[in-house]
Amino acid sequence: MYPSSVRQLIDSFKNLPGIGEKSAERLAFSMVNFDKETLTNFSNAIVNVRDLVSTCKICGNISEGDICSICSNEDRNNGMIFVVEKPKDIFLFEKLGVYKGRYHVLGGLLSPLEGIGPDDINLKSLLERVRDGKVKEVILALKPSVEGETTMQYIRKVLSEMDVTVSKIATGVPIGTDMEYIDSLTLELAIDERKDIS
Amino acid sequence: MYPSSVRQLIDSFKNLPGIGEKSAERLAFSMVNFDKETLTNFSNAIVNVRDLVSTCKICGNISEGDICSICSNEDRNNGMIFVVEKPKDIFLFEKLGVYKGRYHVLGGLLSPLEGIGPDDINLKSLLERVRDGKVKEVILALKPSVEGETTMQYIRKVLSEMDVTVSKIATGVPIGTDMEYIDSLTLELAIDERKDIS
């Protein structure tokens, strides 16, 4: 019923997370009104992502080239590895501008329920990097969920045999949030991990 | 900070309605994991929309070609014109499959507040189509807002000099909605336009 090019665009949008038929229709129809240059830029951006973006051979970050800009930056501290679930997490932490070490992307979390084991995530290469000997501290920054905690416990265990400090980022009450909007598990953790300020 | 192709894709997504920086980042990062074929199809769909889709010279619908599939369909009734705001509205009504006449897309609504007058929307060509003489009824299907009502009143007035019936689709309580979720203006209209069923 729709012109076939519009139908094709709707179907493409439906591949995106959280975009169903109705949202895809709305987005595709809005693009019909874009000027030709904007459409060309959009199309080129997709082609460039397709042709240029790959996975960093060291840390698993997204990269234009074999090694990402963080791994190839010689000014960064080789003594620390910050372990995250997804490439996007790296950019969240980089925006803060406080961490100057290296990263490692697992690309997933351990989940016995879903059958995701240690060999299914990017863990072996983390152990190899730590075994190299330059790394003094591994900072685990996985989300505080069952899978995240399981993965952090597993990494803590396998790294316990090596000469490296393992830490994890703090869980607790986020700043600026009203208590009533925070889930009970977070509140419990915040009490358990309370800090003496006397 | 992001690889430049990813940054370009984020910026492209931000042109879409309701997509801000955070949503655009989420969508762009999800596309990094798409396979090459899916990315090629998406890019081609945009190029095809750019190169193939234009506006129907008769009714203002989107079309691959000068005249849209509805205007070029000889089986449809030339005696009725269904007036809508946007091309997308046509497809909403076509999905119902009950209307077999012609359409006319205004491409906007009159809004004295925003300085949108009769010359700023696709109104002149509607009058020309009615003046042709074949049209017996013009059905106004604009949204029941201040702008929609203003536009319908204006069209009713200019068409009053011509030999044509002007109707508008009914406003009232939508089916399957709990009363408490319906705004008071709709409820008032539903009372004003009540139907005798005795």
Provide the whole-model pTM.
0.82
Task: Please report the DSSP string for B99-158 in residue order.
Answer: --EEEEE-SS--BGGGTB-GGGTTTHHHHHHHHTS---EEEE---SSHHHHHHHHHHHHH
Nearest residue of B to residue A6, measured between CA atoms: B49
Mutation pick from A5, A48, A55, A59 vs chain B, by most beta carbons of B within 10 Å, is A5
A154-170: per-residue pLDDT in tens?
A: 999 999 989 999 999 88
pLDDT at position A185 is 81
Which among A103, A97, A94, A192 is positioned nearest to A139, based on CA atoms?
Answer: A103
Query: 3-state class of A99 per DSSP?
Result: coil
| Chain A residues inside the 8 Å CB shell of B108 | none
From B12, B27, B45, residue closest to A5, measured CB to CB: B45
From B16, B34, B53, residue closest to A5, measured CB to CB: B53
pLDDT at position A188 is 82
B63-118: per-residue pLDDT in tens?
A: 999 999 999 999 999 999 999 999 999 998 898 888 999 999 999 999 999 999 99
In this complex, is the C-beta atom of A27 within 8 Å of any C-beta atom belonging to chain B?
A: yes
Mutation pick from B2, B8, B46, B70 vs chain A, by most beta carbons of A within 10 Å, is B46
Work out the end-to-end distance of chain B between its first and last CA atoms, rounded to an integer number of angstroms.
71
In this complex, is the C-beta atom of B160 within 8 Å of any C-beta atom belonging to chain A?
A: no
pLDDT at position B187 is 83
* Contact criterion met (CB < 8 Å) for A87 and B30: no
pLDDT over threshold 80, residue B49: yes
Nearest residue of A to residue B40, measured between CA atoms: A47
CA dihedral B175, B180, B186, B188 (to 10 degrees): 120
Angle of helix B124-131 versus helix B146-159 axis, rounded to 10: 40
| pLDDT classification of A105: cutoffs 50, 70, 90 | very high
A3-50: per-residue pLDDT in tens?
A: 999 999 999 999 999 999 999 999 999 999 999 999 999 999 999 999
Q: With contact defined as beta carbons under 8 Å apart, do A33 and B105 qualify?
A: no
pLDDT at position B82 is 93
Nearest residue of A to residue B12, measured between CA atoms: A42
Average pLDDT over residues A104-127: 95
pLDDT over threshold 80, residue A62: yes
pLDDT at position B3 is 93
pLDDT at position B178 is 83
pLDDT at position B172 is 84
pLDDT at position B100 is 93
Q: With contact defined as beta carbons under 8 Å apart, do A155 and A126 qualify?
A: yes
Nearest residue of B to residue A86, measured between CA atoms: B29
Q: Which of residues 76-115 of B touch A (CB under 8 A)?
A: 86-88, 91, 94-95
| Chain B residues inside the 8 Å CB shell of A29 | 62, 86-88
